A and B are shown apart, each in its own frame.
Chain A
Amino acid sequence: MTPAASAFHYLWLIPALPLAGAAVNLFFGKRLGKLSGVLASATLGAAFLLSALLVKDLMALPGDGRLVVRHLFDWISVGNLTVAADLRLDQVSAIMILVVTGVGALIHVYAIGYMHGDPRTGRFFAYLNLFVFFMLMLVLGENLLLLYLGWEGVGLCSYLLIGFWFDRPEASVAAKKAFITTRIGDTFMLVGLALIVAKFGTLDFTAIFHATAAGGIAKGTATAIALLLFAGAIGKSAQVPLHVWLPDAMAGPTPVSALIHAATMVTAGVYLVVRMHPIFELSGVALTVVLVVGLVTAIFAGTCAFGQDDIKRVLAYSTISQLGFMFMAVGMRAYAAAMFMLVAHAFYKALMFLGAGSVMHGTHDATDMRTFGGLLKPMPITGVTFLIGAAAQAGVPPLAGFFAKDAILEIANHTGRELVYVLGTFAALLSAAYIGRLVFLTFFGEPRSQEAAHAHESPPVMWIPLAVLAAGALVAGWLNLTPEGRLAGFLEPVAGAVPGGSGLAVPVMDAIAIAITLSALIAAWYTFASGRVDWLAVRERFQPLQRVLQNGWYVDRAYQTVLVEPARAFAHITAFVVDTKIIDGLVNAIGAGVKRLASVGRRVQTGYVRTYALAIGLGVVALMFWVGVRG
């Protein structure tokens, strides 16, 4: 083995470092005090450096041999099924670990400032580190069970962190909602894993891909497996119809929203589909479902984002919408484009969430955009970095989002999916519009409240990560200037070639995209920041529509009526009719019967000695009489 390759021996350290940080912070977090955040960030920084080193080594390997599988130990061995704890480093997981540890480290540093003064910072960083560990296991696992371990682990940490301020009722409710909603998808996914075990006899990716390539699986089975796995992805990546948990998850601390609910965990679904794409490709139906769900989600969440007043909820719906874009790409077999979008999105959405957190930090935890305004002046660094992130998302060239979104739309056009192209462009228009509304309401115009007027810039520990992420959002587009670009080339051995074809010329599409983005942004500026339109009056006029959008098309209320209320009613019946009346009634009836019988029988016990003596005497007489008669 070459010296370079031997560095892969240390692959296990990448997940182990955050795990160690989590353990130390969990047990000694209180004593560490302020050091807990430093420790947590340091473990992640080290993990990031190690990831970068290993990815560099991976790049040094020949193009088609870039796959490292490290066997740690045999984990489970039941019957014919053996599951080993193996880590797999290939092009896809390389990108994921860089994003997870890189963005994660920045968010950890930011959280030191954001969580300053919270009495339970040790616990917070323990959870955050634990989350990173599970996320790394998810992307590094060589088999689906390790992936599932990470999958459930990040779900657990998501629950713990959304509900970190559990003394706020909305936070604990949101935590439960997130956990239960994603579990619905996870259950389908588990069934999918069972089906894979039944059909393939293994959960190892390498073995599954070999079997799939050899054609050892029927199309119907592939469709079933793919759809079951995708159900898990729908839950975790908050796609329609299981998207309802993500906007509520904003009740958690903002660094959590940035790390878990924007940059990493919610992209796990995209990663899963990219990873399992050989099975999805066997089944055209599954890919179509992925495409349709992604498209519907992108447009649906885009409209919802437009109706939100809470800055974090705008970003939450925006995340859902952007994830929809990624699934659109995956559904068109453009895995490289999806991964590119994932990386770009991780930068600009984490940046915007942290920026929103910085705004909250500077305005005493205000989140209602109607009370903001003109924050660019008191918070210049937050403002400028946020503008970069917003421009990246809106698709202003030459920032990351422009290339990412454009790549997806180009592929839609070039593969002859005209409807997808048109609707996708509409979704892009929406995303530029709502992000423009957010930016212009927050950072431009006049302050609309005392808090906004007296806002202050955040400390360096918070704005330095913002600046780094902004730099990332600026240059991430360089990774993939064209759909056939660098990242796509890097991913090609795993993800396959970018689907090609012919359609509109690329410059034409670029022009269309830029025109749409700019017109949306200008419209947003004219409405919300130019001062020429009384947007509150406009809002008043379109109030019914505004209400619908703000409530996310009443999906939550529909679930409440269709699912939650009947379930509650049923639970009420079982609890207060079946249990208290029938089961308890039966038990009580038996008890009461015995009691009644005893109340008769106990009269025998008079307590007078002479009664007992008489009974004994009569008993003896009767006995003798009986003996005498018999004898």
Chain B
Amino acid sequence: MRTPIAFFLVLSGILFGVGTAGVLLRKNALVIFMSVELQLNAVNLALVAFARMHGDLRGQVLAFFSMIVAAAEVVVGLAIIVAVYRRRLSVNVDDSRELRG
């Protein structure tokens, strides 16, 4: 008996919701960053679940692509956060609002 696809999707939705809430509500850049990763992984879970449902490996392959891109993004994103921290001694994103109109 297979686990119904709905379980995976609900879990994926919850994870994505948590991630989105983290991005929108937290002020610490690192936490926001982690929340973004959470969103990415929620999407990965959905991808894998659908792949399994359809018996089509292309979805899983896409999940791997997504992970690798996420890894690359972490490198760049963390580097930016470190650079910002060195400059301002703060990772609070609300401190960086010079582009306010």
Residues of A within 8 A of B (CB): 601-610, 613-614, 617
Contact = CB atoms under 8 A, between A and B. Distances in A.
Given A613-B23, A617-B20, A608 B94 contact: yes
A606 B97 CA distance: 7
20 contacts: A601-B101, A602-B101, A603-B101, A604-B101, A605-B99, A605-B100, A605-B101, A606-B97, A606-B100, A606-B101, A607-B97, A607-B99, A608-B94, A609-B32, A609-B93, A609-B96, A610-B23, A610-B93, A613-B23, A613-B24
Contacts of B97: 606-608
Given A606-B101, A607-B96, 5 more contacts: A605-B100, A607-B99, A608-B93, A610-B23, A613-B23
Contacts of A609: 32, 93, 96
A617 B20 CA distance: 9
Contacts of B96: 607, 609
A47 B69 CA distance: 93
B25 interface: yes
Contacts of A606: 97, 100-101
Considering residues A604, A605, A607, A613, which has the most beta carbons from chain B within 10 angstroms of its beta carbon?
A607
A613 B23 CA distance: 8
Contacts of A617: 20, 24
Contacts of A608: 93-94, 97
Residue from A601, A608, A617 whose CB has the most chain B CB atoms within 10 Å? A608
Contacts of A607: 96-101
Interface of A is mostly: helix
Interface residues of B, number: 13
A602 B24 CA distance: 21
Interface in B81-101: 93-94, 96-101
B12 to A, nearest CB: 16
B100 A610 contact: no
Contacts of B101: 601-607
A563 B23 CA distance: 78
Contacts of A601: 101
A605 B101 CA distance: 5
A607 B96 CA distance: 7
A617 to B, nearest CB: 6
Contacts of A602: 101
Given A608-B94, A609-B93, A614 B99 contact: no
A608 B93 CA distance: 7
A224 B101 CA distance: 71
A614 B93 contact: no
B40 to A, nearest CB: 14
A604 B32 CA distance: 22
A602 B100 CA distance: 8
Interface string B8-41: 0000000000001001110000001000000000
Nearest to B20: A617
A601 B101 CA distance: 9
A608 B97 CA distance: 6
B15 to A, nearest CB: 15
Nearest to B24: A610
A605 B20 CA distance: 21
A492 B25 CA distance: 111
A316 to B, nearest CB: 71
B17 to A, nearest CB: 11
B29 to A, nearest CB: 9
A577 to B, nearest CB: 38
Contacts of B25: 610
Contacts of A613: 23-24
A596 to B, nearest CB: 14
Contacts of A603: 101
A625 to B, nearest CB: 16
Contacts of B99: 605, 607
Interface centre among B24, B25, B98, B101 (most CB of A within 10 A): B101
A582 to B, nearest CB: 33
Nearest to A613: B23
A614 B20 CA distance: 9
A232 to B, nearest CB: 66
Contacts of A614: 24
B65 to A, nearest CB: 20
Nearest to B25: A610
Q: Among the interface residues A601, A606, A610, which one has the most CB atoms of the partner chain B within 10 A? A: A610
Contacts of A604: 101
Nearest to B26: A610
B21 to A, nearest CB: 11
Nearest to B29: A609
B76 to A, nearest CB: 16
B24 to A, nearest CB: 5
A622 to B, nearest CB: 15
A118 to B, nearest CB: 64
B36 to A, nearest CB: 9
Contacts of B93: 608-610
A604 B100 CA distance: 9
A619 to B, nearest CB: 13
Contacts of A610: 23-25, 93
A50 to B, nearest CB: 80
Q: Which 6 A-B pairs have the closest CB atoms?
A: A607-B97, A607-B100, A602-B101, A605-B101, A610-B24, A609-B93
Contacts of B100: 605-607
